Homo-oligomer: A and B are copies of this chain.
Amino acid sequence: MDTADGTSAEPARARARTRKRAARRTQSASMADVARVAGVSSQTVSRVSNGFPGVNEETRRQVLAAMKELGYRPNSAARALKRGEFRTIGVITFGLSTTGNVRTLEAIATSAAHEGYSVTLLPVAVPTQDEVRGAFSRLGELAVDAVIVILEVHLLDASTLSMPPHVQVVVADSDAGDRYNVVDTDQAGGTRTAVRHLLDLGHRTVWHLAGPEGSYAAQRRTDAWRAELLAAGRTAPPLVRGDWSAESGYHAGLRIAALPDCTAVFVANDQMALGLLRALHESGREVPEDVSVIGFDDIPEASSFLPPLTTVHQDFAEVGRLCVEGVLRQMRQDATEHGTTLVPTRLVVRDSTAPPRAR
């Protein structure tokens, strides 16, 4: 009857469009469609969609009704193209193996969502210079306005970090020097508290089971451990190294257990501490009676270790939150002062530390 089947007024174009649309499996409705249904111009739809003032209440209601009827969703690609921003933050990270990274990532995702931003993951398979550089160059064609880097490794030399222009960067837990803003856990503070706790208990000195070479966090902890011992006038025993894994902690632990004069160990993370506990147990050295152990991170499981682990609590959530806050701030005002924000840590004393056994 009426226009339903094309009155051939200007049928060619209209029909072509319809056909194409149908072929493209129920494409979602566009502003133009909503506008047609609501009997207004697409610009008015845009204004409603973006909550702009200056739209009559009655009109607004009609538009909203039309949107609902058609199930209209703004096309974010078109939006991004027009606005020149994606409302997306990229996170470059090497693996999600370490608890810390994951918790930070989670906090980032939550904070970002809260600010109306999405988070895109940029995994780096192997932490080599080339891989990292690759991730950064892929980044160029990626739909992100800003990037948060959680590579704790020492791979961020100046040449590597060449960002496309107007992409803001914040680096977590690393030493991006003065090129970028950094959010870091107070590694040094936490370490010194831990070492002091052991010394205060009466231990003559404190051994250290360190993280892998090349890790910034590991190095900071090692440096602070040594500094605190020296400040207390003690000599630092030789360094023992692991690779963050419980397994490596176990192997290192077997060596440590063989040292009769070792009464206290500061371990660079909780996983390795777990392995160390096992090694000490198997070697017949009791914790904390024979050896005191302190970890780092305070993973949820730490309170269930045998014995429950004294450890340094890190606030990963806060780190993530600050990273997001930092990027957003940088995006708003193109400010370029670089600095480091420190997130405090605190010592959680459980049952793996005690005064040395009287001899």
- Measured between beta carbons, the chain B residues less than 8 angstroms from A75 are 81
Q: Does A266 contact B (CB under 8 A)?
A: no
Whether a CB of chain B sits under 8 angstroms from the CB of A337 is no
Q: Are B301 and A271 in contact (CB under 8 A)?
A: yes
CA distance A269 to B306 in the complex (A): 18
CB distance from A43 to the nearest CB of B (A): 19
Contact A301 B246 (CB under 8 A): yes
**Which residue of B is nearest A281, CB measured?**
B306
Q: Contacts A110-B123, A119-B121: A278 and B305 contacting too (C-beta < 8 A)?
A: yes
Q: Classify the secondary structure of A's interface with B.
A: mixed
Instruction: Indicate if the CB atoms of B142 and A76 lie closer than 8 Å.
Output: yes
Residues of chain B within 8 A (CB-CB) of A275 are: 304
- A303 vs chain B, min Cβ distance (A): 6
Min distance, Cβ A26 to any Cβ of chain B, angstroms: 4
When the two chains form their complex, are residues A81 and B84 in contact, meaning their CB atoms are under 8 A apart?
no
Which chain B residue has the least Cβ–Cβ distance from A106?
Answer: B96
Contact B77 A300 (CB under 8 A): no
Task: Say yes or no: is A245 at the interface (Cβ < 8 Å to chain B).
Answer: yes
Report the nearest B residue to A143, measured CB to CB: B76
Q: Is A165 an interface residue (CB 8 A)?
A: yes
Complexed CA–CA distance, A166 and B95 (Å): 31
Cα distance, A119 to B105, chains bound together (Å): 13
Determine if A102 and B96 form an interchain contact, defined as CB atoms under 8 angstroms apart.
yes
The reply to whether A306 and B334 form a contact with Cβ atoms under 8 Å apart is no
Q: Does A103 contact B (CB under 8 A)?
A: yes
